[in-house]
Structure 1
């Protein structure tokens, strides 16, 4: 490793198991010299066990991104571990099973999916803003929302909202020198993937359309891309979506 994050302090949300992009983003950040703090919601004992697999210890804070009180107190809780932030990773998405039925999903379930998967991107950024230094980077995770995907349905709409929110957040935080970008990864066999009905059909698209070999069990390439966007190697890149999908995003039939 080259140390591209040496001395930086990074908050990584959404680590659950060591198969997640968030885990590999945190791992790469540590290997590149960063100090990492994790946040998670529920199943904190599992998150702490996963954190123990990182190269260095990382504190774990509980955070429900739909809870205004927890968001309001986040900066103060973070100050117990770091005196500032140079980067934030938003790896948070959720939708009840009904949202994978586009015609049948009720608004209440769709609204919850949009809140957790898209609106929370802005919420987390604002909660961390008191600690974010000039030149900091915010990186979120999406699944290419320009097109429809088998079975993805309202989660695809929520990701489209996230991608639009990224552009507006990049615009509004630019005067503070804060960059906001997304990584669009291909399908990965994470805990979140198991909640998608027909995930195998979706992932099967990569079998015949990916120009580069795609391993759905390997989240490290996406995690490394997150770390790269947090570094100073992209000082003038904001509002962007970097595709880490083996090239499927640019491939036709």
Structure 2
């Protein structure tokens, strides 16, 4: 396809190419993940200098060729600059970009994942939510969108939907209060189970609307970490600054 297209997306990563260019990866609403060259983006006076940076969200005019794409113009709506002003927050920001890069396929539109990423960056930027909670919500919803997560709405043994209490990481599911007794399963607080179910069933645009007590948050985060490691066979470089 040799034509110009305007896409909406977020820059996931950028790497230098040659003396003055960059190759950027963008998660777009229209095409999913795509790569494009930003010619001259490393020159001080380049109109693409800020648009060719991670976190940049906006519209990109691309020339899409048979073998490569190139950025012609960009109109950035949010640079998420405050994310990079604090080391701890920027580490979380780069982590979610790396996870999105890993889970998103090229030329496979995934609007819900783009929405999740954008809302996650907004939540980080706002400073209103515990970053541990943000990470857990993002990781759990990413698994859900990828279709690799256990059923936490029905008892593994009897199928009941009420009084679910024990999660079994080896059998990929949950037991009710009666069936879970004596099983090799971990008992979870009712609020933790509700939070896990809420993330599964709620659209990405509305996810960051709840908080948890410290005790429940620790349990929620540990549970999601266990599930994320179980279903994600990959080591994320940016995670070393978080773990």
User: What TM-score do you get using the length of structure 1 for normalisation?
Assistant: 0.24
Structure number with larger C-alpha Rg? 2
- Decide which structure has greater strand share: 2
- Relative contact order, higher structure (CA 8 A, sep 6+): 1
Instruction: Looking at secondary structure, tell me which structure has more helix per residue.
Output: 1
